A and B are shown apart, each in its own frame.
Chain A
Amino acid sequence: MGKAYNTVAFKPQFCDGCGDCMWACAQAKAGSDDPADSRIQVVAAADGGYELALCRQCGDPRCVAVCPAGALAKDQDSGLIAWDGERCVDCLLCTMGCSFGGIALGGVAGRVVKCDLCGGDPQCVKACSSGALRYITTSRIYNEVGNLEDLFAPGLGGCQGCNTELLMRHSLRRVGPDTVLATPPGCVPGMGSVGYNGQAGTKVPVFHPLLSNTSAMLAGVRRFYKRKGRDVTAMALAGDGGTADVGFQSLSGAAERGEEVLFICIDNEGYMNTGMQRSGCTPYGAWTSTTPVGDERKGKTQDAKNLPLLMVMHNCRYVATASTAFMEDLYAKLDKAIAASQRGFAYLHVYSPCTTGWRFPAHHNIEVARKAVESNFVMLWEFDPESGLRITRPLDNPLPVSEYLKGMGKYRHLDQDQIEHIQDKVNENAELLASLSRGRTRLFPGSS
C-alpha cells in the first residue's frame, strides 16, 4: 500500500499578505530578513487577494524527472523532494519542470532553493497568525489506519455522497475485531450493517436491537463477556432518533449506571431512513416531511435538544462531539472513547450531513460538515469528569450561520427572522459552551 504525506495547505481567503511566513522562512533558511530569501512566496494579485508559490512535494514530481544531474529525489518515507546541492549543476531545468513556482532561484546567486518542510515543523505555518497556512497531518491517519482490517463487508448501500459508510468503516476498523456491534433501526442497518439475505454485513458479531433497548442490550452483552473473562467492546452505531428520542430511556439508564459501552450517535438531524421525519435533533427552521413548508408553517418550530450536553450531565466517562470534516479530531476522540468504554460509558456524537434529506449535492457532504463547524452551528468539544469540558476547535471568528444554511435545500425557505433566530441560538450555544469550558469549570465537583 502506498503512503500518504503531510503537506502545507493554503487558504487564500484568510491570507492578509502580512508576509510573516516569508520572514520566518528567510530567517530559518538563510538567517536573513529579506523575503527574497524565503522559499515560500506569497504574491499579491492585481485584483486583490493573495496567492502562493510553494513546493507542493508532488507525488509525481516533474522537477525530479527533468533534473539531468540526479540532484532532486522524492523520499518515499517522508514524501519530501530533497535537493542535493553537491550534485546540482545550476542548470535551472527544474524550474522548467515546475508549474507552481515551487523551485526557483534563491538568494544565493545562481542556485535554486525549495521548501524542505523544515523537517516536519514548517516555520512558515508557525508564523502564520491568520490561519491561511496550515500543516495538514491527516496523512498520519491513512498511514496508521490504512492497514487495519476493514470489518464491514464490501457493498454497503448508502445514498450517494453519504458519509455514514465512511464513519462506519473508520470507527469499526479502529475499534477492532473484539467487538459486539449493535445497530438499531436507522440508516446504518439500512445500509447493510446487519446484512442482506442471510449474509452478515460485518466481520464481527452484530445485532439489530429495537430502537428503545440498544443500550440495555449492549450493557448485558458487555457484562456477560466480562463475567466470562473476555475483553469485548460493546459498541452501538445509532442514529439520532435511536439515541435522542426513542432510544433515550435506555441510553440514559445505561449512562447513569456507568455501563461499559461505546455509544456512537450518527446525527443526521432526523429519521432520514424512513422518509425524513423530524427528530429531537432536527434544528429549528429545518424542513422535514413532518415539519413541512407551506403557507402556515415554515419548517420546525422548536430548537433541537442538545444531546451531547445531556450526556455530559450524566457524568459519563467520556463525551465528545466530532465531524467527518475534521478527521484528526474525530480519530483522537474515537481513541479516547474506546479507552473510556473499558471503564464506563463513552458517548461520541458525530454530525452526519444527509445528502438526500438535507437536499444538497452529493459531492458537498464534507464541505457542509466543514461549514457547520466553521460557523459554530456544530461545535467540537470533549468532556471527561477529571478534566471537565474542553473545546477542541476554537469558537473564535465563526462564519455567519447563513453561510452554512444557504448550502442546503432544507433551509431554502428561511426568512430573515428565522435566520436570526438560528444565529442567536448558535451564539447562545457558543456562550454556554465557552462558559462551561472556561477555567475547566468542574461540572461535577464531587467526582474525582
Chain B
Amino acid sequence: MDEQTRYLVVGASHAGLEALRAIRLADQEGSLTLATRDASLPYSPTVLPYVVSGRSDPERVFLRDGGFFEAQGVCYLSGARLAHLDCGDNRAVFASGARIRYEKLLLATGASPVVPPIPGLDQVPFHVLRTLSDAVRLRAALQGAKQAVVLGAGLIGMHAAENLAKAGARVTVIEMQSQVLPGYFDAEPASLIQKAFADHGVHVLTGMRVLAARQRDGACAVTIAGGETLKADLLLVSTGVEPEIAYLNGCPVEMDRGILVDDAMLTSVSNVWAAGDVAQARGFFSNGTKVLNAILPDAAEQGRIAGMAMAGDPAARFYRGGVPLNTYHFFGQHAVSVGVSGEGEDHEVHQEFDARHGRYLKIVIKDNRLQGIFGINVALDGGIMWELILRGVDLGPVKGEFITRPQETGRVLMSRIWR
C-alpha cells in the first residue's frame, strides 16, 4: 500500500526548507514528508563552488541535521528522485519505485544544468556543478588539472573559474555573450569584474562561440570560433540551468519554461504548489508576465509563501513579484545587484564609474521609485534596496541624498518604515 502524508515537499534546498518551516509554524501535527533526490542531508547549490575550492568541508555544508527533522516530526526521504506525478490520484512515484500519496504537494525540485548543443561535447568527459557529488568529483579532478576550460560566464562559471585558478590551474572562460555575468551587470561593471579575473591570470573570452569538442591525448580539445583549439584536462560546462520538470510529463500542471504559479505559488492543480528555481511566477518588473527568477533569496521567499498557503496560515500573504538580485564576491572584491537597469526615457540613471579604483555605482529611478541599484566595491545593503523596490518607497523627498549616500539613506528610510 502507498504511504500517505498530508504534506509532501519534493526538494530540500532553500524553497523546500522554508516551506517546511512555514508549514510547521501553522500546523505542528500534520504529517509531512520531505523528499530529495540527494543522498545526503539538505544543502544549497550555491555553496558548491566553495566545496570545489576546499573552502567548505563537504561534511559541513548541510543546512539541517537529522535531529532537526525528528524534532519537527518530518519524514526526511533522501535519495528519492521524483519520476512521475499522478495528479488525479494525488500520488508521487519515485525512481526507486516508492509511491507516496499526498493531500498537498510542493514541487521545489530546482533546476538542472543545460548542456549546450556543441558537436562532440557528448563524447568527451566534462563536469557540471549542481549537486554535492558534482562538487566532490570536480574537486577531485582539480588535483591533477593544469588546464581548465569553463564554458559560460554566469555566476557558477565565474565562481568556479576563480576557485580553479586559486587551485593553480590555468583557466580559460568562454562566454557566448559579449560580457561576463550577463543579466546581473551592465557591460561597464562587467568589464571591471573581467579585469579582476584577467589580473589573476584567468583568461576570459567573451563574445566567443565554441565550435566543437573532442578527445585528444587523454584530455579535451575545445575548438573556438576562429579555429584556435584549447586543450583542457578539465572541462566545466556552466552555460545555465533549466527547471527540473521532466516528471510532469502527462500531468495537467500548466508549464511554460517552468511550472506556472499564481501569487500564492499555487499551480493550475488545486493541491499542487511550486517554488524556487522550478517555478515561473510573477515578475516584479514584467507587467504580470511570469518569469523564472532562479536566485536563492527569491527561492526562500517563494517557499515560505507556498508553505503558508499549504498550511492555511491565516497570516499567509502574496508574492510581490520576482526582482533580479545577487551578491557576488570575487578575488576579495564585492558586487551587489538589485533590480533592473532598463533605461527608458522615463528612467533617471545616475552612474559613477571609477575604473582606477575599481568602483562602480549605478542607480536607476523611475517616478521617484527605485528600479535598480548596482555596485562594485560600494557598500550597499542589498536587503534594504530590495525592500525599497518592492514597497515602491517614494524617494522624492530624499532623492539627492539617496544618490550620493545610498547605503545611509536606505538605512534611514527602512529604520523609519519598520518603526
In the bound assembly, the distance between CA atoms of A46 and B412 in angstroms comes to: 9
The reply to whether A68 and B44 contact each other, CB–CB distance below 8 Å, is yes
Taking A68-B296, A92-B334, A99-B387 as contacts, is the C-beta distance between A51 and B411 under 8 angstroms? yes
Q: Which residues of B380-416 have CB atoms within 8 Å of chain A's CB atoms?
A: 381-384, 386-387, 397-398, 401, 407-412, 414-416
Contact A99 B401 (CB under 8 A): no
A104 within 8 A of B: yes
Q: Is A96's CB under 8 angstroms from B47's CB? A: no
Top 6 A-B pairs, shortest CB-CB distance = A68-B44, A68-B46, A51-B415, A92-B327, A96-B382, A46-B401
CA distance A236 to B358 in the complex (A): 73
Among the interface residues B300, B329, B382, B411, which one has the most CB atoms of the partner chain A within 10 A?
Answer: B411
- Shortest Cβ gap from A66 to chain B (Å): 5
How far is the CB of B391 from the nearest CB of chain A, in Å? 10
B270 CB, nearest partner CB in chain A, Å: 27
Residue-by-residue, is B52-94 near A (CB-CB < 8 Å gives 1, otherwise 0)? 0001100011110000000000000000000000000000000
Can you offer 14 A-B residue contacts whose CB atoms are under 8 A?
A: A43-B412, A47-B397, A47-B398, A53-B381, A90-B329, A95-B336, A96-B326, A96-B336, A98-B381, A99-B384, A99-B418, A100-B418, A101-B411, A105-B379
Whether A89 contacts B60 by the Cβ 8 Å rule is no
Instruction: Please tell me if the beta carbons of A91 and B329 are within 8 angstroms of each other in the complex.
Output: yes
* Contact of B101 with A by CB under 8 A: no
User: CB distance B50 to A99 under 8 Å?
Assistant: no
Asked if B327 and A87 make an inter-chain contact with CB atoms under 8 angstroms apart, the answer reads no
Chain B residues contacting A104 (CB-CB under 8 Å) are 379, 381
Contact: B46 with A93, CB < 8 Å?
yes
- Chain A residues whose CB sits within 8 angstroms of the CB of B407 once the complex forms: 101
Q: Which of A62, A87, A91, A97 contacts B60 (CB 8 A)?
A: A87
Complex contact B410–A101 (CB within 8 A): yes
| Chain B residues in the interface with A (C-beta under 8 A) | 14, 17-18, 21, 44-47, 50, 55-56, 60-63, 296-297, 300, 304, 325-329, 332-334, 336, 338, 379, 381-384, 386-387, 397-398, 401, 407-412, 414-416, 418-419
Whether A91 pairs with B327 at a CB distance below 8 angstroms is yes
Which residue of A is nearest B64, CB measured?
Answer: A70
**How far does the Cβ of B72 sit from chain A's closest Cβ, in whole Å?**
13
B-contact bits for A98-126, CB 8 A (1 contact / 0 none): 11110011000110000000000000000
* Residue A44 interfacial (CB < 8 Å): yes
Q: Is A366 an interface residue (CB 8 A)?
A: no
A43 is contacted by which of B338, B387, B415 (Cβ under 8 Å)? B415
Contact of B304 among A65, A68, A70, A98 (CB under 8 A): A65
A66 touches B297 (CB 8 A): yes
* B382 nearest in chain A by CB position: A96
Q: How far is the CB of A90 from chain B (nearest CB, A)?
A: 5
Q: Do the beta carbons of A110 and B332 come within 8 Å of each other?
A: yes
Q: Which residues of B contact A93 (CB under 8 A)?
A: 46, 296-297, 327
A44 to B409, CA, bound (A): 9
Closest A residue to B62 using CB positions:
A70
Beyond A70-B63, A87-B60, A89-B47, whether A51 also contacts B412 by CB under 8 A is: yes
- Among candidates A51, A69, A96, residue contacting B50 with C-beta atoms closer than 8 Å: A69
Chain B residue nearest to A54 (CB atoms) is B415
A52 within 8 A of B: yes
CB-based contact A99/B383 at 8 Å: yes
Whether A166 is near chain B, meaning CB under 8 Å from some CB there, is: no
| Among candidates A41, A43, A96, residue contacting B386 with C-beta atoms closer than 8 Å | A96
**A98 to B416 CA separation, bound complex (whole angstroms):** 15
Residues of B with C-beta under 8 A to A46: 398, 401, 409, 412
| Interface bits A18-55 vs B (CB < 8 Å: 1, else 0) | 00000000000000000000000101111100011100
- CB within 8 Å for A87 and B56 given contacts A53-B381, A96-B297: yes
Q: Which residues of B contact A89 (CB under 8 A)?
A: 47, 50, 55-56
B18's closest neighbor in chain A, by CB? A65
**Interface residues in chain A, defined as those with a beta carbon under 8 Å from any beta carbon in chain B:** 12, 41, 43-47, 51-53, 62-63, 65-66, 68-70, 87, 89-93, 95-101, 104-105, 109-110
Q: How far does the alpha carbon of A425 sit from the alpha carbon of B47 in the complex, in Å?
A: 67
Residue in contact with A92 in the complex, picked from B17, B21, B304, B382, CB distance below 8 Å: B382
B386 — which chain A residues lie within 8 A by C-beta? 96, 99
Q: Which residues of B contact A99 (CB under 8 A)?
A: 381, 383-384, 386-387, 414, 418
User: Which residues of the partner chain A approach B55 to less than 8 Å between Cβ atoms?
Assistant: 89
B contact residues around A110 at 8 Å (CB): 329, 332-334
Q: Which residues of A contact B46 (CB under 8 A)?
A: 68, 91, 93
- A45 and B411 CA atoms in complex are apart in Å by 9
Q: Please name all residues of chain B whose beta carbon is closer than 8 Å to the beta carbon of A45 when the two chains form the complex.
A: 412
B302, chain A: closest CB distance, angstroms: 11
Give CA–CA (A45, B325) in the complex, Å.
Answer: 27
- Known contacts: A65-B14, A69-B61, A105-B334. The answer to whether A95 contacts B415 by CB under 8 A is no
Q: Which residues of B contact A47 (CB under 8 A)?
A: 397-398
Closest beta carbon of chain A to B64's beta carbon, Å: 8
Chain B residues contacting A62 (CB-CB under 8 Å) are 297, 300, 383
Are B61 and A70 in contact, CB atoms less than 8 angstroms apart?
yes
- Counting chain A CB atoms within 10 Å of each CB, the highest count among B18, B60, B329, B383 belongs to B383
A53 touches B297 (CB 8 A): no
Q: A51-B411, A92-B336 are in contact. Are A101 and B384 (CB under 8 A)?
A: yes
Could you tell me the distance between the alpha carbons of A51 and B398 in the complex, rounded to whole angstroms?
Answer: 15
Closest-CB distance, A429 to chain B (whole angstroms) = 33
Bound together, the chains give a CA A98 to CA B414 distance in angstroms of 11
Partner of B327, one of A53, A96, A100: A96
Q: Which of B63, B327, B381 contacts A101 (CB 8 A)?
A: B381
In the assembled complex, the CB of A14 is this many whole angstroms from the nearest CB of chain B, namely 14
Q: How far is the CA of A293 from the CA of B336 in the complex (A)?
A: 63
Could you tell me the distance in whole angstroms from the C-beta of B181 to the nearest C-beta in chain A?
15
How distant is A52 from chain B, measured CB to nearest CB, in Å?
Answer: 6
Q: Is the CB of A95 within 8 A of B327?
A: yes
Check if A92 sits within 8 Å of B329, measured CB to CB: yes
Inter-chain contacts of A96 with B (CB < 8 A): 297, 325-327, 336, 338, 382-383, 386
Q: CA of A244 to CA of B98 in the docked complex: distance in angstroms?
A: 77
A53 touches B411 (CB 8 A): yes
Contact indicator A95/B56 (Cβ below 8 Å): no
Q: Which of B334, B398, B414 is in CB contact (< 8 Å) with A100?
A: B414
Instruction: Say whether A69 contacts B297, CB under 8 Å.
Output: no
Chain A residues whose CB sits within 8 angstroms of the CB of B379 once the complex forms: 104-105
Nearest B residue to A110 via CB reads: B332
The smallest beta-carbon distance between A227 and chain B, in angstroms, is 51
Contact between chains at A101 and B334 (CB < 8 Å) = no
Residue of chain A at shortest CB distance from B401: A46
CB-CB under 8 A from B326, the residues of chain A are 96
User: Shortest CB–CB separation between residue A388 and chain B, in angstroms?
Assistant: 41
Contacts of A63 in B (CB 8 A): 383
* Min CB–CB distance A9 → chain B (angstroms): 11
